[in-house]
Chains A and B, each alone.
Chain A
Amino acid sequence: MKTGARFSGKRRLALAGLGAATLTAAGAALARAAADGFASMSVAGRAEGAGRKPPTRVVVLDWPLTEVVLSLGVVPVGVSRPAWYARLDGVPPLPPSVVDTGLLYQPNFEVLAALEPEFIVITPWHAPLRGLLERIAPTLTVPLFGPGVDAYPAVRAATRELAGALGRHAAADALFAQADAKLADARMRLAGFRATRRPVYLLRPIDDRHIAVFGRNSLFGGVLHALGIENAWQGAADPQGMSEADLGALAKRADAQAVAIGVAPGVAAQLARSPLWGALPFVRRNRVQHIDPLPALGGVVASMRCADSLAKALEGVST
């Protein structure tokens, strides 16, 4: 009995010691990981500041940013899941030569390293990966969408920033000139519609019960604003500027016009059967326009396409 107690006392001491050692080891590793993170951040800052030859081998880990990079005339060497860019209706098209770097938030680091990029473009959502990406190439975080970000100006600022980083100022100037011309053209064509002072709901039906609505800080909400049209959805929106509304919530503005973006045929049939959809003021008065699918998350090209589609859809509406 006595020996048992002695042993268990020893064992307890040994356990306590080992436990403390574990905690120390883990704590030290954590501290080092944190320090590494800070170090890589400051390195990145220096790398971005240094002036040198603009990079040509670029990897982009986000589809909207892919559009921005392509629109500046740079073809990336690698993009996350290129097939999805096309499936999300991305324009300009992505050449088939672009290498698949794997999943959006879990890129294949070995593939990335093998591509030997000179520059990597990521979103704030890739923050956990940044330290590791910095090992491969200088990495630039470009916020297009996020909490408190107004997408329309953010997209323009990001395009400028990327143009600077890629040495493509001339391409950016041309793009902005084209965008401004398109916008002015659309504004002109929409003069008749603006005279009606109707607000517009920009919708993308998900299924027969849920509708994604573009809020004020979404990219297309910004396009509406630039066209001088009031956004009928004044409610809250998520960090990407979207809100998921039920049909009843769309009845608040009786005088509104609706523009539905890329409605799948199946969903359209379901909606047609729904009595509440049929009762919505814009449906009852035949004030729904349909436009082709557009990427909800996109860049300057997407906003140009949106302005053009809106002008096409609404220029005939004057009552």
Chain B
Amino acid sequence: MNRSTATLSAAAPRAWRLPALLLMLAAWLGYHTLSARLPVAQWAGALLPHADATLPQLVVRYGWLPRFAIALIAGAALSLAGVVFQQVLRNPLAEPLTLGVSAGAYLALTIAAVVAPALAADLRFTVALAGAALAMLAAMAMTWRKGFAAVSIVLAGMIVNLYCGALSVILTIVFERSLTSVFIWGGGSLVQNGWAGVLWLLPRVLACGFATALLVRPLTLFSLDDGSASQLGMSLKWTRLVALAVAVTLSAFVTSAVGVIGFIGLGGPVLARLMGARRVRDQLLWAPLVGALLLAIADQAVQSLPGVLGELLPTGAAVALCGGPLLLWMLRRVHIEAPRPAAADAAPPRRALTMPALLLGALLVAGTVVSLGFSMTLHGWQWTDAQQWSDVWFWRVPRLVASLGAGVMVALAGTILQRVTGNPMASPDLLGVSGGAMLGMLAAALLAAAPSTPVLLAGSSAGALTCLVTIVALGRRSSFAPEHVLLAGIAISAFSQAVVMLATASGGAYANLLRPLQYGSTYLIVPATAIAVSVCAVLAVSIAYLGARWLEILPLGANVANALGVSAQRARLTLLVVAAVLTAGATVVIGPMSFVGLMAPHLARLLGFPRARSQMLVAALIGGLLMVLSDWLGRNMIFPQQMPAGVIATLLGGPYLMWLLRR
């Protein structure tokens, strides 16, 4: 320990300043909150167990102190897990939240609370742990064939994260009233009422820390590239597996004890590295220390907030609010050396456009007719006759048109993004524009006393635009390198999901209103909106056609593009703006996460349409068809309860995405 401290200070003479500053801040805040609860003269009585302690002393002994302790332990554990994840996956953005572990645990608890409420109360730790482990296993299963390649595992984790989050929200739409305690837990509350939580968590974290200490040498070798590490006699696959298992267990323990607390696993290691801890063993030592102090500071700061905020805001929420910007700031500075993912597959044979396009068009028409005519009613399944039609058209046509238009727009946006970034995984939801639109809508709903459709629409557009500007600003620094744009988007998506989760986790009347917004406003579509959406969709098709040449050239690379007289940077920027506007329009209708923008272009390519123009046309048809189908299923699946079309599209799209990653 002394040696590493010495080398650390030798490497960076001012390294002690940051932890000292954090320590002072934590101590000052702690003094502040503690003295508000108990006069300094009585502190000794609270610390030392004796029988006749006064009530404030007991509150400190069983409330304040264990809360402080568990903040330190959880912060240290999350940071330690973050270091291991980042080292093994060679990705500075890996941490429990971005790998889907927290979301898995949250989903497991939500399911348990619905299926067996008694079980959920007694076995909370076990249930959450099982969910976290399953989520990580899912992410790992998806990347098994690629030998757990660093980029794909983070991508897989993020997708598990988004999908688990989506499933949780679906459950909460249907079962909201039985899930109050799950919401609180999901918000990352550090409140304690005794030492049981600390005594449960501490030995488990220590055991994991010990296991990590045993892994220091193999972990160090991960600083080399795979080839060199293998030559030094290391089995990469198994070392990675063991190290990941330790880190997952560690983060699952924390998640099950105190709930979803993101970004500490990101912040701790980053600050440790800024302090000058370059070697793995230094990071393993310093990052937990910094992380512990960070979480303690955040928790004390929350406790000293005045009034309602201090009492209602879960610490996890406060941390997440600082964490999103931190993630984006890191993206600006961190250079991510990601191998460009290979194109999905060798180009399948090209086909003549006419027949399949006609066939798809016919399918779309058939789907529309079935969706409008055949539906569940109070008297069971029925074909709607002409007389009933005059009653029901108002409720079916606008939302069908809007869903169709949104499907077309999001499919086009996906095609454009995949071609511009040269990344087969790109799509509007992974770009983060949908997340930004969602955040804007949330802000509008919170600020307006009685949120109406136009207000929500305006908020959503503003959010998408803000998000776009952020991404463009970030992308400009790296000349819109595909990886940077995509990771910035994923960061924003995760941030928006965290914020939404926390906004709804705080409970109360707002939560009931906000939760449904996440899946779009198919309920609130009036003819005017439907017309606006379809006009936008038609315009989108025309614009995309004008950009087809750019889309053909850009995937060949910037040099080729410039040689052909196309300014690569300007073309990219223009196309990104188009894609973002399309996404904003679609998000208002079908919500942030549909995966249609990912699926439609892929299916078009698999059907044999690799050229930009034909791929866009076929993708638009497929996107529309998928959304028409989703809208129909959403209206009839669990009648009379209606699921928004975006939810069904997510349910359909998620498994496809996971299958895609596995290949």
Contacts and interface: CB of A to CB of B under 8 A. Distances in A.
| Chain A interface bracket (under 10, 10 to 19, 20 to 34, 35 or more) | 35 or more
B395 A104 contact: no
A21 B191 contact: no
A103 B193 contact: no
A170 interface: no
25 contacts: A15-B543, A18-B543, A22-B536, A29-B528, A30-B457, A30-B458, A34-B454, A37-B453, A103-B174, A106-B516, A108-B639, A108-B640, A113-B391, A125-B512, A128-B521, A129-B523, A209-B191, A210-B181, A240-B509, A254-B55, A274-B62, A274-B196, A275-B193, A276-B193, A276-B194
B356 interface: no
Interface string B187-220: 0010111111000000000000000000000000
A22 to B, nearest CB: 5
B508 A128 contact: no
A30 B458 CA distance: 9
B535 A128 contact: no
Interface stretch (A152-160, A187-195, A241-249): A241-249
Contacts of B391: 113-114
A207 B55 contact: no
A266 interface: yes
Interface of A: 1, 4-5, 8, 11, 14-15, 18-19, 21-22, 25-26, 28-30, 32-34, 36-37, 81, 84, 87-88, 99-106, 108-111, 113-114, 124-125, 127-129, 131-132, 135, 145-147, 206-210, 235-236, 238-240, 242-249, 251, 254, 264, 266-267, 270, 273-277, 279-281
Interface residues of B, number: 83
A37 B173 CA distance: 26
A11 B524 CA distance: 36
B379 to A, nearest CB: 9
A208 B456 CA distance: 38
A84 B509 contact: no
A246 B191 contact: yes
Contacts of A146: 509
A277 B196 CA distance: 13
B523 A104 contact: no
Contact of A113 (B176, B392, B452, B642): B392
Contacts of B55: 251, 254, 279-281
A228 to B, nearest CB: 27
A279 B62 contact: yes
Contact of A251 (B56, B122, B185, B639): B56
A87 B452 contact: no
Nearest to B522: A106
Contact of B395 (A110, A207, A209): A110
A268 B174 CA distance: 27
A280 B392 CA distance: 59
Interface of B is mostly: helix
A5 B458 CA distance: 37
B419 to A, nearest CB: 17
A128 B524 contact: yes
A148 B20 CA distance: 45
B574 A210 contact: no
Nearest to A22: B539
Given A240-B508, A276-B194, A279-B58, A106 B523 contact: yes
A76 B443 CA distance: 35
Interface string B302-330: 00000110011000000000000000000
The 4 lowest CB-CB distance pairs between A and B, nearest first, are A29-B532, A248-B63, A276-B62, A276-B193
Given A32-B528, A266-B122, 7 more contacts: A25-B535, A29-B532, A104-B512, A146-B509, A239-B510, A240-B508, A244-B507
Contact of A248 (B59, B122, B377): B59
A106 B638 CA distance: 13
Contacts of B529: 29, 33
B442 interface: no
Contacts of A100: 640
Contacts of A84: 177
A85 B118 CA distance: 21
A15 B531 contact: no
A5 B174 contact: no
A128 B456 contact: yes
A244 B189 CA distance: 12
Given A103-B173, A108-B641, A25 B539 contact: yes
Contacts of B512: 104-105, 125
A92 to B, nearest CB: 20
Given A25-B535, A88-B177, A207-B121, A131 B59 contact: no
A209 B508 contact: no
A112 to B, nearest CB: 9
A87 B177 contact: yes
Interface string B362-396: 00000000000001011000000000000110111
B181 A207 contact: yes
A209 B516 CA distance: 28
Contact of B378 (A81, A106, A114): A114
B521 to A, nearest CB: 8
B311 A277 contact: no
Given A18-B539, A18-B543, A206 B184 contact: yes
Residue from B56, B535, B585 having most chain A Cβ neighbours under 10 A: B535
